[in-house]
Structure 1
Amino acid sequence: MRVVSGLFLPVLLAEVWLVTSFNLSSHSPEAPVHLESQDYENRTWEEYTWTDPRTEKEEEYWLRASQQLSNETSSFGFNLLRKISMRHDGNVIFSPFGLCVAMVNLMMGAKGETKVQVENGLNLQALSQAGPLILPALFKRVKETFASNQELDLTQGSFAFIHKDFDIKETYSNLSKKYFDTEYVPTNFRNSSQARELINHYIIKETEGKIPKLFDEINPETKLILVDYILFKALMEWMNLGLKAIPGDERKWLTPFDPIFTEADTFHLDKYKAVKVPMMYREGDFASTFDKKFRCHILKLPYQGNATMLVVLMEKTGDHMALEDYLTIDLVETWLQNMKSRKMEVFFPKFKLNQRYEMHELLKQMGIRTVFSTSADLSQLSAVARNLQVSKVLQQSMLEVDERGTEAVSGTVSEIVAYSMPPVIKVDRPFHFIIYEEVSRMLLFLGRVVNPTVL
């Protein structure tokens, strides 16, 4: 099985795509390894019943569970950032939420140690103890929260490209449709070039050409490819989806930058190297704080629709990597609680990012190994599960930032006075960014900008 995840996140002409695909390939039969776990791990979906909290009017339970889901997904994201940083120190952009959605979609087809490892690796083992369907139900509720906010313009969907003779369990396909809105597309993987063109056609269509070639090649032994996507859009008309942007309804910063003030300026890569970038400018009210312990500035840049970007900038150039070891949900909450709004001048660069990661290697380091081996137990997905395994998980991310808004980041200072935030914040050195949805507090995108001139 092969997994590919791509994320597109441009600005103002902007939409954000996370495309995650799982490619199931066959392998030689081998007895799967099982792990002792809760009784429900060995039950079929038909044997287990879990009731959505809404039907029991347990909204308090839903709020607690969704908050825990948000916290654990964020923790997973910070852990994953640290794994990525061990491999390279350049620009980073990925979606913890999108990757979790895709893995939970797949996890509904897993059992035993395979399932337990995915739960543990995603930090979702505690929540899953309430039942095997609570995680899909929680993600569905979060998606419904996003969908109810028209200003947010966050859209999700899922495709399942299934080989014509692959015996997928009806129970799994029904659950995937129910919780992830999965659309099934018959595909002949034996004709790998034709299958590649078909899948890429769907991806091109859904991303308006922003991801023109997700698959370079496809294994003819593939049985199923699951593609999950997230769209955070701005100036696009989605005629093929039956959705059309309202004229003038553009994604904007709540405090947009005026293009007339954008000028070329210096961005310091380190103590010795610098590049020229288009530097944007805005004067207005911004929420910010300064962390005295870590000596960093945090700037809050809200979007329309209850989405927010936090910009985290170290006081000294070159210290940004050291902060990653300490990034936690508790630290971020402390920053948010200490935020104060004040009038200030903000400068930050226009930039584009384009990143792709082999997430399967990173997930293995986080303890998710069995699903990628011949011991994978995907018996909830198919009766031929002994011949299935996940071979690859990829995530591709693209980010573009301009004056009017959508995914971008900023937060730096030219001078530091005592422990207070200066009235001028100039983003002219490497920084981190965190994009989250205010209501659910779900971490949508996470990354860092080391060189804004490099894709």
Structure 2
Amino acid sequence: MGPAWLWLLGAGVLASVHCQPFPAHGDKSPGVPQPPGHKLAEPAPAYHKVAPAYHKVAPTITSFALRLYKQLAAHTPGNILFSPVGLSSALALLALGAQGDTQPEILEGLGFNLTETSSADIHQGFQRLLHTLNLPSPKLELKVGNSLFLDKQLKPQQHFLDSVKELYGALAFSANFTDAATTGRQINEFVRKQTYGQVADCFQELGHNTHTVFLNYIFFKAKWKHPFDGYQTRKQERFSADERTVLRVPMMQQREMHRFLYDQQVACTVLQIEYSGNALLLLVLPDPGKMRQAEAALQPETLRRWGQRFQPSLLDLHLPRFSISGTYNLEEILPQIGVTNIFDLGADFSRITGQFNSSISRVSHKVVVDMNEKGTEVGAASGLLSQPSALNTTSAPCAHFNRPFLMLLWEVTTQSLLFLGKVVNPAAG
């Protein structure tokens, strides 16, 4: 048999559709330090003083996301949207099938220091992260999953199949890749069902030499803690996509208590919007002409600095209702952040089938977000941050998102970054 070419696909969706509660996949771990500006959860019970295993992976996922975002921003003029949790967990799962230099390159490309954190601890961290994210919640619907499609002629190693199922909840399916068109439709249909119809046509084509597909999908739905009144939405508000392009978009409005700040150093307004469930949205609105400055400032220490300075205040908020998506083939982007050898013929994925000669031919990632009035159905020196004014019943600061902005969506318990993006055209679909 010739080279076993593999695809690695990540699919994610934030959608405004009804779906059934998800089954539990594990026990809830105690709370951890929260995303920027969020109040800490109740202290962990005394009988469990060991930090949850996902502490070892969540910060690295965030750093990986910010590095990847900057590469995407350098090559993408319009909207950007991807799932750091989805993509990083798919790559970590792939590392389970790698040996030799290929395995450490994947994990180090994600940003892990293998002299400080062993590969076993990394995989255990992802296991606990995925289990915790998949726990049912009455106020938030979140589903993260992995699957493998292996050509029926392959004989996968049982140890590999057991490991990916135990650590990543991944099920393996036999597929006929000699009929690439039919198999592609079957995988697209599988993704469509897992994301409740929101992510479709991930695979435009499968090469005749494709033998394995790794699939990751993520679904998120939550309501705002303070919903917008649909009657207040203005249908044709101006949105300046760039210096020469002005769009007309639906603009949601509310006057409500929110945690926010103005960062003079970065020249941006930073707003935190809470969901009724265990998630929050961080919006970054650069001053006109300052998007590149804000993107350059996207660092873990910047997020921590903002988290320490948020103050609650009444805010006059204008936020576009939008639906955007992001679709990427990352084989040109990942090598720029250190993940290179998986695309070489010398890559060693022999833990999957026992065959050495295999490599990754495509890394595809697609995410859809729909944000509306009900919700989303997907440090510095002192003095650099200007605090919002105190509560005033007659007037309030205004945050008018009428130009491109950044969005970071967090799951609170695990402090994990579910989605990261930039909204340049709210009506791009």
TM-score grouping bracket, smaller chain normalisation: 0.7 to 0.9
1:14-413 alignment, distance < 5 Å: 59-63=48-52, 66-126=54-114, 129-150=116-137, 151-233=139-221, 251-263=222-234, 264-314=236-286, 316-384=287-355, 386-406=356-376
The structure-2 alpha-carbon separation of the partners of 1:220 and 1:270, relative to structure 1 and needing over 3 Å to count, comes to closer
Report the alpha carbon displacement of residue 133 of structure 1 after superposing the two structures with TM. 2.2
Report the alpha carbon displacement of residue 370 of structure 1 after superposing the two structures with TM. 0.9
Partner of 2:17: 13
Report the alpha carbon displacement of residue 420 of structure 1 after superposing the two structures with TM. 4.2
Q: Which runs of 4+ in 1 moved over 4 A?
A: 57-61, 418-422
CA deviations on 1:151-181 (whole Å, 9 max, x unpaired) are: 3311122222111120211111000111111
The structure-2 alpha-carbon separation of the partners of 1:85 and 1:396, relative to structure 1 and needing over 3 Å to count, comes to same
Partner of 1:426: 400
Which amino acid is the alignment partner of residue 282 of structure 2? L
The structure-2 alpha-carbon separation of the partners of 1:14 and 1:175, relative to structure 1 and needing over 3 Å to count, comes to same
Verify the 8 A CA contact 1:270 1:317 in the aligned structure 2: no
The structure-2 alpha-carbon separation of the partners of 1:298 and 1:14, relative to structure 1 and needing over 3 Å to count, comes to farther
Work out the CA distance in 2 between the residues paired with 1:14 and 1:276.
29
Verify the 8 A CA contact 1:116 1:125 in the aligned structure 2: no
Verify the 8 A CA contact 1:283 1:345 in the aligned structure 2: yes
Partner of 1:450: 424
Verify the 8 A CA contact 1:356 1:395 in the aligned structure 2: yes
Pair 1:438-2:412 in alignment: yes
Report the alpha carbon displacement of residue 68 of structure 1 after superposing the two structures with TM. 4.1
Unmatched tracts of structure 2, length 5 or more: 1-5, 20-45, 379-385, 390-395
Work out the CA distance in 1 between the residues paired with 2:133 and 2:178.
38
Verify the 8 A CA contact 2:409 2:417 in the aligned structure 1: yes
Work out the CA distance in 2 between the residues paired with 1:131 and 1:95.
24
Work out the CA distance in 2 between the residues paired with 1:351 and 1:223.
38
Work out the CA distance in 1 between the residues paired with 2:56 and 2:156.
32
Which amino acid is the alignment partner of residue 267 of structure 1? F
Report the alpha carbon displacement of residue 140 of structure 1 after superposing the two structures with TM. 1.5
The structure-2 alpha-carbon separation of the partners of 1:149 and 1:321, relative to structure 1 and needing over 3 Å to count, comes to farther
Work out the CA distance in 1 between the residues paired with 2:47 and 2:101.
31
Verify the 8 A CA contact 2:192 2:199 in the aligned structure 1: yes
Verify the 8 A CA contact 2:279 2:410 in the aligned structure 1: yes
- How many residues are matched? 384
Which amino acid is the alignment partner of residue 442 of structure 1? S
Query: What's the secondary structure of 2:119's corresponding residue?
Result: coil
Unmatched tracts of structure 1, length 5 or more: 16-56, 234-250, 409-417
The structure-2 alpha-carbon separation of the partners of 1:219 and 1:253, relative to structure 1 and needing over 3 Å to count, comes to same
Which amino acid is the alignment partner of residue 454 of structure 1? A
Superposition TM-score, scaled by structure 2 size = 0.84
Query: What's the secondary structure of 1:62's corresponding residue?
Result: coil
Work out the CA distance in 2 between the residues paired with 1:419 and 1:300.
14
Work out the CA distance in 1 between the residues paired with 2:329 and 2:47.
40
Report the alpha carbon displacement of residue 212 of structure 1 after superposing the two structures with TM. 2.8
Superposition TM-score, scaled by structure 1 size = 0.80
Query: What's the secondary structure of 1:174's corresponding residue?
Result: helix
Work out the CA distance in 2 between the residues paired with 1:194 and 1:423.
56
The structure-2 alpha-carbon separation of the partners of 1:93 and 1:377, relative to structure 1 and needing over 3 Å to count, comes to same
Work out the CA distance in 2 between the residues paired with 1:131 and 1:59.
22
Query: What's the secondary structure of 1:153's corresponding residue?
Result: strand
Partner of 2:381: none
Verify the 8 A CA contact 2:313 2:388 in the aligned structure 1: no
Report the alpha carbon displacement of residue 207 of structure 1 after superposing the two structures with TM. 2.4
